[in-house]
Amino acid sequence: MTRLVVASGNAHKVAELRFTLADGAPGVDVLGLCDLPGPMPTIEETASTFAGNARLKAEGVAAWLRGQGEPPDTVVLADDSGLCVDALGGAPGVHSARFAGEDASDADNNRRLMAELERHGVHESPGHYVCVLALVRVDGGPVFGNQAAALFEGRWDVMVRRIARGDGGFGYDPHAWLDDRTVAELSPADKRSRSHRGRALRGLLERMRDGM
Ligand code: IMP
């Protein structure tokens, strides 16, 4: 049984990953930071890329787990994601979660996004969501053969519009359009099957099926 710790205190995220991996990669015991004793480590996301931040989170949590006496072959999975808007030169990008400030809500971030589109004089712009998953071992040893960190990336092209619709999903979804509807109008299952996160996760699952 491989122990996999999700580098997140978000019980919802952990439950979703547990559900997906139970089906696609049996033999993996999925835990979240909230399932482990002790205060959760805080890791600063200081990298300029999604991959860099996902790796910082995975390696930071691996180092913390090492200090807690976690077995060396436990693996840590971290993710970083966000929305990149062409007309804004790729912003908010890695700053998506805090576009309107440190403790910004989704509504605050969407207001800032709309203000930026207006400032650039556009009503819509192509954009894309990105999700990068990073998987490392607690002892820093190779994962899948010879890599110190295995990275899986998913991208989802959308049209970002000032007009918003729908109340599903989260974050920028009400402004992220696919043809005639927004991501906030998709069912959770439909979103999972098409999203940047779903794609990255399927990449990881394929590798895990071949064995750790
Ligand atoms: P993090 O990956 O938890 O750092 O958060 C990334 C941020 O990107 C979120 O707070 C959202 O603002 C945005 N984001 C990432 N994925 C999605 C998505 O699927 N829909 C809408 N917004 C997203």
Residue with tokens 């999903």: 169
What CA–CA distance (Å, rounded) separates 51 from 55?
6
- Cα(132)–Cα(146) distance, rounded to whole angstroms? 19
Nearest CA, atom 4, ligand 1: 80
Range 180-193 average pLDDT = 95
Phi (first) and psi of residue 145, to 5 degrees? 90, -100
Q: What is the pTM of this model?
A: 0.94
Q: Residue 71 C-alpha to ligand 1 middle, in angstroms?
A: 31
Is the C-beta atom of 172 inside 6 A of ligand 1?
yes
Q: How far apart are CA 201 and CA 188, in angstroms?
A: 15
Q: Is the peptide bond before 92 cis (omega within 30 degrees of 0)?
A: yes
Q: In sequence order, which residues have a C-beta less than 8 Å from that of residue 81 and are 6 or more positions away?
A: 50, 96, 129, 130, 131, 132, 196, 197
The pLDDT tens digits for 107-128 are: 999 999 999 999 999 999 999 9
